[in-house]
């Protein structure tokens, strides 16, 4: 299991599909996850420090967790099946709730908990981008030009 950090959101053209890019904290692998527009907006707003007038869904979840006396310890991206990623919200006492990675990351950013990816997920979908001297954003742009969501669908082997 590797701790991941959120690099950012990029919109893949021409499909106008948002992609969440995570990178290993202590490694060279990146994990791209295609996500929905609403979740992409929630992640970007939190990264930019924008506070909406009324709480968004992920803000509400953060408030509910706190007011109900719980602590979100971590988010884990636990599986990849036929191109779909799966995540767990891990609370105290190892209580786990399955959630989409996009929602999980949006919540993790709000509560300040770590994000992890299981090794089998990174082995299947993690990418090492060449030329470490380049800026991460530029590497991400190059990557998006050469990949599509179909590249992460399971194949019969």
What number does CATH give the domain 1-144?
3.10.690.10
pTM, full prediction:
0.80
What does each of the 157 residues of the chain score in pLDDT, given as a tens digit? Answer: 999 999 989 887 777 889 999 999 998 899 999 999 999 999 999 998 888 899 899 999 999 999 999 999 999 999 999 989 999 999 998 999 999 999 999 999 999 999 999 999 999 998 887 655 456 666 666 666 666 666 555 555 4
Q: Token match 């992890």: residue? A: 116
Q: So what's the pLDDT on residue 15?
A: 78
Q: So what's the pLDDT on residue 150?
A: 61
């Amino acid at each position: 299991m590797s701790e991941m950090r959120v690099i950012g959101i990029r919109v893949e053209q021409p499909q106008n599909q948002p992609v969440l890019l995570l990178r290993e904290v202590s490694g060279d692998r990146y994990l791209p996850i295609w996500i929905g527009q609403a979740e992409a907006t929630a992640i970007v707003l939190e990264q930019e420090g924008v506070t909406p007038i009324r709480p968004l869904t992920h803000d509400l979840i953060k408030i509910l967790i706190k007011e109900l006396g719980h602590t979100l310890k971590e988010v884990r991206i636990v599986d990849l099946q036929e191109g779909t990623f799966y995540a767990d919200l891990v609370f105290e006492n190892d209580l786990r709730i399955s959630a989409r990675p996009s929602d999980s990351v949006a919540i993790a950013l709000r509560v300040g908990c770590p994000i992890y990816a299981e090794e089998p997920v990174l082995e299947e979908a993690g990418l090492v981008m060449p030329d470490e001297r380049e800026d991460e954003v530029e590497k991400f742009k190059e990557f998006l030009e050469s990949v599509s969501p179909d590249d992460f669908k399971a194949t019969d082997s």
